[in-house]
Structure 1
């Protein structure tokens, strides 16, 4: 992977970092702007000269800048901000308890402790672990296949994964999505314990474990990127 930069735009827009990679499978030049983190990726077939690829990017500079300008802005998690929890927006405020808690439509954070954002992040991770473990256990029992390992990460390219050794991994940001979406992702990954593919047989298994899932899958495609807007530093 090599890095290049689009030049400063005609109206003073800053340079844009472009990540270039080559692919044996690629049949044509492709340019992608990630909706999750704004990463600009240029993929070239093996025999296409780098110069040709960079010329293609230069031709698409206006499109790239347009895509970047449409990305949702970041939200710093702090007092007075709002954050989704299982699909419901909660206002962050100070509370009198010694731990983070939910009261009505408020997420209450103790005062005099570490930074608000870090407290909220720790609370969300704990809640995500509890709910995702429970969902994974439930679907694994229904499938009749145990998983070997459970991991939470802050992944940007996928909401979950299942290894060939039976290890399940999830993005803890799923706790911000509606409960049904979190459960669908758990059923999806548990189904991979039996079917390590996305064949019709796999999707039939997901539906057997979870039920109709099209609405939840659609929600992730339409709204999932927004869950990465929140910064906890």
Structure 2
């Protein structure tokens, strides 16, 4: 989809052949054509219109692909509720959320459960803050270990909240990882880090690249399978 700075016209329920679907309309000065995508985090369709485009043409495109839209939304996992008694993943392990309203410690792991202090309405925000903080500690440390073992040294690591990529490597040797990987099993993290380290030598996905990936990690097939089954659910967590 063409991306760019633009105007967000809010969320709207739009009827299509399969029923009504939530749609967020965007007008972008940089878009050259009408496009649409499904936002896996928010769980709605994003329609992007060039400045000169008519809304009616966007509706026509949406309705012409109503089957694709309905199937894409149906495939999204339900958004997890970060509340007392709910669960969240850390390193692939499910942690029960325990609300401790009288405590003053933010969020902390104790006896295998994630305890959260303060008012109930802040549970989701504090759980997400805890996960981000863990990502800031764990992912850079694991990247350093794998980089040292492989002899492949990135120039820097950036953690971002990306929706379509778990990682990337730029031509200047900088690696980006999605912070949400901290929720995935360590084998999955190992594979994604190995994947990006391999790009330091091969900036493509050719045979030599995949050969190097398989030399750097034994977890490729297992990790790809896990991400196909569970990756979208990591993006559905909000706080």
Is 1:64 the counterpart of 2:63? The answer is: no
Count matched residues: 221
Task: Out of 190-199 and 32-41, give the one that drifted further.
Answer: 32-41
Task: Out of 166-175 and 61-70, give the one that drifted further.
Answer: 61-70
Q: How far is the alpha carbon of 1:204 from its aligned partner?
A: 1.1
Residue aligning to 2:176? 169
Q: How far is the alpha carbon of 1:116 from its aligned partner?
A: 2.4
Give the Cα–Cα distance (whole angstroms) in 2 for the partners of residues 7 and 116 of structure 1: 32
| Gaps in structure 1 of 5+ consecutive residues | 24-29, 44-49
CA contact (8 A) 1:6 1:18 kept: no
Residue aligning to 1:117? 124
Give the Cα–Cα distance (whole angstroms) in 1 for the partners of residues 137 and 184 of structure 2: 15
TM-score, normalising length: structure 2: 0.75
Residue aligning to 1:224? 231
Residue aligning to 2:90? 85
1:197 aligned to 204, 208, 213, which one?
Answer: 204
Give the Cα–Cα distance (whole angstroms) in 2 for the partners of residues 123 and 7 of structure 1: 36
1:155 aligned to 158, 162, 186, which one?
Answer: 162
Q: What secondary structure does 1:151 align onto?
A: strand
| Gaps in structure 2 of 5+ consecutive residues | 49-54
**Cα RMSD over matched residues?**
3.6
Q: How far is the alpha carbon of 1:62 from its aligned partner?
A: 4.1
Residue aligning to 2:193? 186
Give the Cα–Cα distance (whole angstroms) in 1 for the partners of residues 94 and 84 of structure 2: 14
1:132 aligned to 128, 139, 149, which one?
Answer: 139
Q: How far is the alpha carbon of 1:11 from its aligned partner?
A: 8.0
Q: How far is the alpha carbon of 1:76 from its aligned partner?
A: 3.6
